[in-house]
Amino acid sequence: MKVLFRTVLFTAVIFAFFTQSSDAQFRHRGNWLGPALTVATDPIGFGVQFEHGISKNIGIGGLIRYWGKSVDVYWGDYSWSVIMPQFQGAYHFMPGDQVDPYAGARLGWAVYSIDTGNDSFDGGSSGLFLTAYGGLRYFFNPKIAVNGNIEFRIAGDDYFNSSLGLTVGADFTL
């Protein structure tokens, strides 16, 4: 996980120093894809996100995340994981700028898996959830951007262990 984050950060810094950023921006019909880390959780979640500009200010897309953890307890191993596919829509306040603040909502489905080490208690559950989020994307150049956002759970399962989540990532223009 640390190697991936350092590699993405190193690549973004190199591109920032050696390329121009005159056309770096959110735009209509643009497409962005990149990794995302949910850093305010234990364990850190990771995933991938996609956004497509459907108008000058509005982007839609998706995000899929994964969390998993295993601990040793007195009766054996206990592990859990959650996979969350989500649809998202965002309003971009300053399209055409290198700095891109945005706000939006995500609707998703959380699929939990639990292994207690005891066959009679294994299982999981699933649930629908809705979150509101806001953040900032910074374009180093037309092909690479970094982003960060804060997410607030409005309805559904409490997968962050609180109502807030913090996500950072990189976006690559397709």
Q: What pTM does this model have? A: 0.75
For residue 68, what pLDDT band results from cuts at 50, 70 and 90? confident
For residue 172, what pLDDT band results from cuts at 50, 70 and 90? very high
Nearest-angstrom CA–CA distance, 81 and 79: 7
Per the prediction, the chain carries an average pLDDT of 81
Nearest-angstrom CA–CA distance, 152 and 166: 9
- Decide if pLDDT at 40 tops 70: yes
pLDDT of 70 reads 81
- Decide if pLDDT at 106 tops 90: yes
Q: How many domains does the chain have?
A: 1
- Decide if pLDDT at 84 tops 80: yes
Provide the residue range defining the domain that includes 56: 2-173
Mean pLDDT of 2-10: 53
Q: Provide, rounded to the nearest whole percent, the portion of the chain with pLDDT above 70.
A: 76
pLDDT of 105 reads 97
The count of C-alpha atoms lying within 13 angstroms of the C-alpha of 61, restricted to the half-sphere facing its C-beta, is 21
Residues 6+ apart with CB under 8 A from 36: 46, 47, 48, 49, 63, 65, 167, 168, 169
Nearest-angstrom CA–CA distance, 92 and 70: 39
- Decide if pLDDT at 26 tops 50: yes
Mean pLDDT of 125-140: 90
- Decide if pLDDT at 137 tops 80: yes
pLDDT of 32 reads 94
Q: What is the 3-state secondary structure (H, E, C) of the chain?
A: CHHHHHHHHHHHHHHHHHCCCCCCCCCCCCEEEEEEEECCCCCCEEEEEEEEECCCCEEEEEEEEEEEEEEEECCEEEEEEEEEEEEEEEEECCCCCCEEEEEEEEEEEEEEEEECCCHHHCECCEEEEEEEEEEEEEECCCCEEEEEEEEEEEEECCCCCCCEEEEEEEEEEC
Mean pLDDT of 130-136: 94
In CATH, what number is assigned to the domain containing residue 20?
Answer: 2.40.160.20
Mean pLDDT of 126-143: 91
**Amino acid identity, position 151:** E
CA angle 70, 133, 163 (to 5 degrees): 50
